[in-house]
Amino acid sequence: MRKPAFWILVAVLLTGLIYLRERHPGPGRADEIQAGLEIVTLPAGSIPDQARVVAVRIDPARWTLRVVDRHQGQADAGATADEVCPSPGAAINASFFDENRAPLGLLIIDGKQRRPRHPVSGWPGGGGLFVVRKGKPSILAHTAKVPAGAEYAMQCWPRLVIAGEIPEFKQRPSALRSAVGIDKAGRVLFVASTRYYTFEQWAALLRDQLGCVDALNMDGGPSTQLAVRGKKDIDVPGGWPVPVLLTAERKKK
């Protein structure tokens, strides 16, 4: 007969495994909407009650990523994610903007710069640039040189995950959040919440639950909106139109 100490050790180890599983449930289930376009459902216990998060995972080898400018120098001009979403495809709000709905920060569309960089200070992680060059996405520091030949770029802040690390954040109240991230496989994630998160909570969710090694915060609050079109349609409606959005459209064969 084994000694009681052995069974005590087994019980402790099993308890630890159960605790880790509940505390760190790992990546969620992925439901394919179209080839290379998935909705990731976070596991139970990984987010606060009722804190719904919609996460779209996109393979850039199969989908064309674009920055869409619906302001184009016209005061108060903008669009909703639902209006610009390709079918099939996905769309999410992007940059901050001023009282005239003019985008704030660097904006490159079809290889041409439309807006200059916006100064960002006070954030330990700084601001960031979401850049698409030859179809390949990256998230860079807002001070970084944009690679020659970049087709698209959009600036926002703060950076939420930087090479797998989460920076410190200014104290800010919780809010509806949206973000763009990139995982280890180079896939892009469009992520929006329908409940409130602090930056710390939001960054931890993107890294620990969705596997982002880099992630950039985008305009939140009433600007938060996301649309998906495919085998099933999914919408996170926003409170108003926005000037700049990110889209994913199926590549032509």
Q: What whole-number distance in Å separates Cα of residue 156 and Cα of residue 178?
A: 11
**Is 35:187 a contact under the CB 8 Å cutoff?**
no
User: Which pTM value belongs to this model?
Assistant: 0.87
Per-residue pLDDT 10s for the chain (253 aa) are 445 554 444 333 333 333 333 333 345 678 898 999 999 987 655 665 446 899 999 999 999 999 999 998 888 889 999 999 999 999 999 999 999 999 999 999 999 999 999 999 888 788 999 999 999 999 999 999 999 999 999 999 999 999 999 998 988 889 999 999 999 999 999 999 998 999 999 999 999 999 999 999 999 999 999 999 998 899 999 999 999 999 999 998 7
Burial class (CB in 10 A: 0-12, 13-18, 19+), 6: exposed
